[in-house]
Amino acid sequence: MQQLRGRFAPSPSGRMHLGNLFSGLLAWLSVRSAGGAMVLRMEDLDPDRCREEYARQVADDLRWLGLDWDEGYQAGGPHGPYSQSERTKLYAGAFRRLKEMGRVYPCFCTRAERLAASAPHRSDGQIIYSGRCKHLTEQEKQELSETRCPAWRLAVDDQEIFFRDKLQGDYRENLQTDCGDFIIRRSDGVYAYQLAVVYDDGAMEINQVVRGRDLLDSTPRQIWLHTLLGFPPPEFCHVPLLLAPDGRRLSKRERDLDMGELRQRFAPEELTGLLAFWAGQLDRPEPVTPAELAKCFDWGKVPAEDITVHPEEL
Ligand code: GLU
């Protein structure tokens, strides 16, 4: 049987928070309980938001909890480099291949123009792109590029993508009506998350992706991109998000429950116990190590719905 290869792919744009750690722990437990290989990839694509010191901090926080990885950031391995900021040439190759397929076109629209087109919205709240720039003539492109740097979009087909998420169940989406042509390279030249994540999961031979439920609606696009680039799509498990009592997602921007705070308040086993309780692996929060949990980890007990974290639990 094929060895399970999973990954955790944090964006080092700040200190991790409880929600990131929850996804990371589940990804790790899934891999370790199956005797698989764990990869840590730094998704530091965005030079404005990501910093090397945050990446080091992420690795340190993961180790503090008791998680390890076989390949990746600070560990090396056959599929490196493992920081996206060092993989630009590889994304350029994938971008070129998509261009050769005749699927990539420059988009000169400003945000205001996209909004003015009053297009319908995707499930993630983004507008579905109208396709306005798809039919520009060579001359129009020439003229527009004199004053604007274009973003680059991938033209999708009128095609339904279906997949079965390990936790969230069946999911289907029509690429044209539910998603629209999407950006794979930004106007500042940075390759977009959608392209980089698919290229990396494919090239790193990842066959199971465990991540937060907020990325569920990116998955049809990604599955389609996997096939275009000639990779077998991985299995997907979208885990619940941790919510504050007011329904907000815990976020690193607000610094609530970030790892700096948590490390002061908890011992690693205590925090693992809490996460494991939310993940349905323990009947009550009690100290435990990730390694102990891996011995009896059961996906069947992990809830699919988001979890509200009450301050008194912490
Ligand atoms: N880098 C993304 C994040 O930190 C995760 C991407 C993924 O797991 O596909 O939210």
Residue 244 is predicted with a pLDDT of 84
The pair of structure tokens assigned to 284 is: 């009550």
Q: What's the gap in Å between 94 CA and the centre of ligand 1?
A: 20
Residue 312 is predicted with a pLDDT of 74
Q: Judging by DSSP bridges, how do beta strands 71-72 and 37-40 pair with one another?
A: parallel
Residue 249 is predicted with a pLDDT of 78
Which residue's alpha carbon is nearest to atom 6 within ligand 1? 9
Ligand 1 pocket test, pick from 193, 209, 210 with the greatest ligand atom count within 8 Å of Cβ, gives 193
- d(CA 290, CA 83) in angstroms, rounded, equals 25
| Cβ proximity of 14 and 217 under 8 Å | no
Residue 111 is predicted with a pLDDT of 76
Closest CA to 191 of 77, 125, 104: 104
CATH fold of 5-88+198-313: Rossmann fold (3.40.50)
Ligand 1 pocket test, pick from 197, 209, 219 with the greatest ligand atom count within 8 Å of Cβ, gives 197
Helix, strand and coil content of the chain, in percent to the nearest 5, comes to 40, 20, 40
pLDDT tens string 35-93: 999 999 999 999 999 999 999 999 999 999 999 999 999 999 999 999 999 999 999 99
Q: What's the gap in Å between 136 CA and the centre of ligand 1?
A: 34
The pair of structure tokens assigned to 222 is: 């990604």
Residue 254 is predicted with a pLDDT of 54
Q: What's the gap in Å between 278 CA and the centre of ligand 1?
A: 21
Domain boundaries, the chain: 5-88+198-313, 91-195
Q: What's the gap in Å between 145 CA and the centre of ligand 1?
A: 32
Q: Is 42 in the pocket of ligand 1 (CB under 6 A)?
A: no
Residue 59 is predicted with a pLDDT of 98
Residue 69 is predicted with a pLDDT of 98
Architecture of domain 91-195: Alpha-Beta Complex (3.90)
Mean pLDDT per segment of 10 residues, for the chain of length 314 residues? 94 93 98 98 96 98 98 98 98 98 95 68 79 94 94 97 98 95 96 98 98 96 98 98 84 69 94 97 97 98 94 74
Which residue's alpha carbon is nearest to atom 7 within ligand 1? 9
Q: Is 221 in the pocket of ligand 1 (CB under 6 A)?
A: no
First to last CA, the chain: 41
Q: Which residues contact 14 (CB under 8 A, 6 or more apart)?
A: 54, 252, 253, 255, 258
Q: What's the gap in Å between 177 CA and the centre of ligand 1?
A: 25
Residue 118 is predicted with a pLDDT of 56
pLDDT tens string 137-168: 999 999 999 999 999 999 999 999 999 999 99
Using alpha carbons only, what angle is made at residue 120 by residues 115 and 126, rounded to the nearest 5 degrees? 65
Helix H or strand E segment including 154: strand 151-154
Identify the residue whose tokens are 């329904």.
Answer: 247
Residue 117 is predicted with a pLDDT of 65
Residue spans of alpha helices (H) in the chain: 18-33, 52-65, 88-100, 111-116, 138-147, 193-203, 219-228, 259-265, 268-278, 290-294
Residue 145 is predicted with a pLDDT of 94
User: Residue 261 in 3-state DSSP?
Assistant: helix
Closest CA to 220 of 238, 203, 205, 206: 238
